[in-house]
A and B are shown apart, each in its own frame.
Chain A
Amino acid sequence: MDAHDLTAAYALDALAPDEAEAYERHLSQCEECREQLAELNETATALAFATVAPAPPARLRASILDAAAAERTNVVPLLRRRWVARGLAVAAAAAACIVVGLAVSLSQSSQPETVTASVVLGPNRTATLHISGLSAAPSGKTYEAWVIPKGGSPRPAGLFPGGGSTTVRLRGTVPRNAVVAVTRERAGGASTPTPPVLFSTPT
């Protein structure tokens, strides 16, 4: 049996268990099939969107989230005394955008806030920073993004006022292994970052 011609059936989940196992063994050694499967899998999944169905019962959402919470006992606490950076990088191939997600949780005085941020690296190492939940900078202040090349000095990468959801196109490119960081600065921005770094993430 030639495993090459099983890609479409595998993408449709139309193989018997022993056939699927044999195909998966082949897949681990065949780059061509891996690429073709990625394409056909996406197309097969499009068929999911053709179905017509009523909305699922509301209890399903609650049931999933309850079960998820029960499984994970090491849930990251949402409230922290100070800004806490939680950076993580998701490695991705050059073709696709690389998404670097970081969630930041903080509480200031009695008002807890949750800030979420992500850095999306596009082709050619350009990048955008997406932030939501960050309160607007006080009068006379601004937020400033920085790109810090590995072993280099921080480079100003853009100013933004915060408040609501913000997308900042980072100035210049983000070299491999650089860190993207955000600080609060005086209006007009600074040429070097003023501590504390509110959050940062490796890329």
Chain B
Amino acid sequence: MNRQLAHLSDEALVALAARSEQSALAELYDRYGRTAYGLALRVLRDQALAEDAVQEAFLTVWRTASRFMPERGKASTWILTLVHRRAVDAVRREQRRRADSLDRAAEPAVEGAEEDAFLHLQRERVQAALRHLPDAQREALELAYYGGFTQSELAERLGQPLGTIKSRMFGGLSRMRELLGEPGTETSWTPTT
């Protein structure tokens, strides 16, 4: 694998992708493809659909890299937002959403050994933050983000007023932000070489 771009920031790679540097797109995929695929698979529960969502998202990165604005947020956030949007669009289209979308037992077991240490650490941090949320907030975030439900669908499903669902999502994200922002929990990509 060509990792000569490994020292560049994500944002610099997007700038290079905007100049048609294919190796920059490859490096972005090497950094975030696995997370992207994991996310799409969690939402879609179907390998072929998940691959399609990831491919479309990365091609959108390739097509629109010149319009990426670093002052609006991190490149990794932009890329994974594109992946998530594709996955949610597809799950709504395919009506593949399932009542058991929170059923962790259905997730494939994965050995950590083959996984990047950075990703492993990230996962533990975010899972720990999720565990600290009140149950109602965690449920709202998980059903919305992983289940692909709209706020109105959530209100109906949970038998709560829409206002309650909105507060749970806002409260949950705000609390997550505090938990993830605590010292020693840097989230940005830091090249190791």
Contact = CB atoms under 8 A, between A and B. Distances in A.
B169 A64 contact: no
Nearest to A2: B166
Given A48-B83, A103-B21, A56 B145 contact: no
Interface in B156-177: 166, 169-170, 172-174, 176-177
B122 A40 contact: no
Contacts of A19: 150-151
Contact of B145 (A13, A68, A101): A13
A42 B74 contact: yes
A14 B15 contact: no
A56 B51 contact: yes
Contact of A53 (B25, B37, B71): B37
A13 B88 CA distance: 7
Contact of A49 (B50, B85, B126): B126
A81 interface: no
Contacts of A116: 4-5, 8, 16
A19 B19 CA distance: 35
B8 A118 contact: yes
B102 interface: no
Contacts of A93: 71
Interface stretch (A84-92, A135-143, A173-181, A190-198): A84-92
B98 interface: no
Contacts of A90: 11, 15, 68, 70
Nearest to A6: B166
A9 B148 CA distance: 11
B169 A99 contact: no
B180 interface: yes
Report whether over half of chain A's contact residues are helix, strand or loop; otherwise say mixed.
mixed
Contact of B4 (A46, A75, A99, A133): A133
B38 A53 contact: yes
Contacts of A49: 35, 119, 122-123, 125-126
Given A63-B51, A165-B4, 14 more contacts: A13-B84, A13-B85, A13-B148, A16-B150, A38-B73, A44-B84, A44-B173, A46-B129, A47-B142, A53-B38, A53-B42, A71-B63, A99-B11, A118-B12
Interface of B: 4-5, 7-9, 11-13, 15-16, 18-26, 29-30, 33-39, 41-42, 47, 50-51, 54-55, 58-59, 62-63, 68-74, 76-77, 80-81, 83-85, 88, 107-108, 110, 114, 119, 122-123, 125-127, 129-130, 141-142, 144-146, 148-152, 154, 166, 169-170, 172-174, 176-177, 180, 187, 193
From A19, A69, A99, name the one whose CB has the most chain B CB atoms within 10 angstroms.
A99
Contacts of B63: 71
30 contacts: A12-B145, A13-B84, A14-B150, A15-B151, A34-B72, A41-B73, A42-B74, A47-B141, A47-B142, A47-B176, A49-B122, A52-B108, A53-B37, A53-B38, A55-B34, A55-B37, A56-B36, A61-B29, A61-B30, A64-B54, A68-B25, A69-B22, A74-B20, A86-B19, A90-B68, A99-B12, A101-B12, A132-B4, A132-B5, A132-B7
Contact of A43 (B36, B51, B122, B180): B180
B76 A45 contact: yes
Contacts of B69: 91-92
Contacts of A132: 4-5, 7
Contacts of A97: 9, 11
Given A42-B77, A49-B126, A88 B15 contact: yes
